[in-house]
Amino acid sequence: MAQRYHVFSLPPELLETLVPRNLISQPPPPAVSTIIQTAPPVSDNARACNICLGATFADVTEQRSHFRSDWHRYNVKIRLRGGSPVTELVFAQLVDGLEDSLSGSASSDESSDDSDAVKVLVNKTKRTSRSPSLSEERQTPLTALTWFHSPPSTQIGVYRMLFPIDTPAPSYLAELKSIQERVEGGRKWAMFMVAGGHFAGAIVEVSRPAEDQDSTFSAKTKKRPPKPKPETSILKHKTFHRYTTRRKQGGSQSVNDNSKGAAISAGAMLRRYGEQALRDDIRNLLLDWADDIQDCERIWLRASVSNRRIFLDYENCVINKGDDRLRTFPFPTRRPTQSELVRCLLELTQVKTSHLTEEALRAQDEAFLASLPKPKATPSVVPTAVPEKAKPQRLTKEEEAYREKWSRLLDMISKGRSEPLKSFWEREGASLGGVDALIPEWTGDRHASLLQIAVQSGQEDVTRWLLYELHADPTILVPSSGVLQEAANESDTSNAPPLQGVGSRRTAYDLARARAVRDIFRQCAGDHPDWWDWFGAAHVPSTFNKEREEARDEKKKQRKKGLKEKMREREARDGERESKQSVIDDEQVEAKSEPRSQDPTAPRKLGGSSGAVDGVVGLTAELRAKVERERRARAAEARLKILTGA
């Protein structure tokens, strides 16, 4: 069984051998090429090498011989790889470490530049001095545990949340050693959980105080030695529950109200009350434990975003929002209960241990590095010339005023504002080009004339004013790019005549959707037939004849009146038929209600009686008489209704 360690009472012999674990289990030895070395001073007149440290020459021949040496070539290659050059003494030590010694360093053979010995030495130095690149460091995920290694085969893991927030990773070992010291009064933690209406809180002691030492046991006494006190103990604890969430639904009532609106039901009111009571109970408990919370070294909190407001950021709060003691549990937790708090306490204070050799650790780390996604090469973006957007042309004051006039004119025509339109046209009509001026394209309107806009909008007064007073041209064709499919579809369901043309063959009359607007064209064609080609280019089918229209309306009225009389006669006949049938039914009922002498020896029909007698079978004589009176009264009322209606 693996030995368990408490994070605040690690064995001293284990602490002395701990080293921080890097991504590779065995920490790399310091590279020789990165050691800062100082070169001896060089006189001004002496020749020296700018790469090799402390290399001076008496003449040019000696300098050239140095350039061909393995020492110089090694420093050049190391310098190109971003390393630092080494002195001749250090280079000699590196050479001694190789299995094959370098020979002929002063040889002038050109192939010596690519000798295998120098390549092996450079590659070896490169491997030992290699450090993870920035891209690899970015891709390596940061785990909740930080691991330490104790040679030869012991590793312990501690949660990072135990250390101060601003502690850098290299200082974790120093922090781990510092928390082994016992403090006066002991180390205390506050632990709170709230979820689904359940709350659990506790004040725990994770390290015994310095003055609380086990008493020494005397050999003379016959008493057994006392058991050592545990490092962790629960000083205070409290749990309670309120009804705040629907069964098998999840989510608090306040969150549901904020997203969908306040629900009006008895259950919703109970859940709102439960949330308020839960908040008050927790805050009262925090107020009672305020002194103990102030002495705590860490405050562990498990709560959702909405439930965190119960503990923080309210008036006279015990725990401030920016308190650096606040921590969240770095592992999944279950329903808030006292047993769950105890489990989380043991999870935080017990050190994780493993026993892997350095070879196993190296293989594990290499497999982990291989599983990480490779950094994507940043594509080189070739700057392309972005075409400049054409700047909108600024309008002059005259052009802005001209466009404002057109906008006002079209708005008054489409809305049917006759009086302002007439006064505006008297002032600005000539400057806009007259009544038959084409509508500018910048307006976005798909019509060609003012008359077409008025007809399309169904404005009768404006259409009459344009035709009679301004003599608007009804023969102007609708632009082919502005075919109005909506007008064509709606004209099929109205009383409009079939369209005279498609596309550019349509005129203002073809756009009229209301009969009253079309009658204005027909009236104007009858009153002034010489103004325009009404029946040809304007597509007006006929003139408006008042007598003919009145005769047609009168004919429609007569037809409706005849239909009403026929319906009245049919209802009268149906009433007479119903009255006669009711009289016959009454007579049959009276005949059947009279007692008849029945021969006891005569044969009887199976199934009993049927018809109207079924309603009075089994009733007393008084009830049968009452039923008959009601039937006769209803029949009489029906007959009176027929007579009064005739």
Active-site positions read 253
**Long-range contacts formed by 255-260: CB under 8 A, 24+ apart:** 255/306
Q: Which helix (H) or strand (E) holds 190?
A: strand 187-195
Q: Single out the residue of 434, 416, 503 nearest to residue 473, CA to CA.
A: 434
Strand order in the sheet with 187-195: 233-241, 198-207, 187-195, 298-302, 326-327
Neighbour-count burial for 467-502, b at 16+ CB within 10 Å, e otherwise: beebebbbbbbbbeeeebeebeeebeeeebeebeee
Count the alpha carbons within 13 Å of 64 in the hemisphere toward its beta carbon: 5
Residue 432 in tokens: 């806009």
Q: Mapping DSSP to helix (H, G, I), strand (E, B) and coil, where does residue 488 land?
A: helix
Residue 643 in tokens: 């007579």
Q: Which residues pair with 234 in a beta bridge?
A: 204
Calculate ∠ Cα 334-257-268, nearest 5°. Answer: 75
Amino acid symbol at 174: A
What are the Cα distances from residue 396, in Å, to 11, 88, 180, 402?
Answer: 88, 82, 82, 10
Question: How far is Cα 69 from Cα 102, in angstroms, rounded to an integer?
Answer: 10
Through-space distance between the first and last CA atoms of the chain, rounded to whole angstroms = 112
- Decide if 312 contacts 305 (C-beta within 8 A): no
Q: What is the 3-state secondary structure (H, E, C) of 277-288?
A: HHHHHHHHHHHH
- Phi, psi for residue 393 in degrees, rounded to 5: -70, 130
What are the Cα distances from residue 446, in Å, to 49, 74, 330?
Answer: 85, 82, 66
Q: Which residues pair with 237 in a beta bridge?
A: 202
Q: Which residues pair with 241 in a beta bridge?
A: 198
298-302 and 187-195: which strand pairing?
parallel
- Decide if 167 contacts 175 (C-beta within 8 A): yes
Residue 425 in tokens: 């046209």
Tokens 């929002």 correspond to 321
Question: How far is Cα 381 from Cα 399, in angstroms, rounded to an integer?
Answer: 45
Residue 590 in tokens: 């009276």
- Decide if 329 contacts 225 (C-beta within 8 A): no
Q: Single out the residue of 204, 247, 536 nearest to residue 338, CA to CA.
A: 204
Question: How far is Cα 645 from Cα 48, in angstroms, rounded to an integer?
Answer: 137
DSSP strands (E only) in 271-379 = 298-302, 326-327, 352-354
Q: Mapping DSSP to helix (H, G, I), strand (E, B) and coil, where does residue 112 land?
A: helix
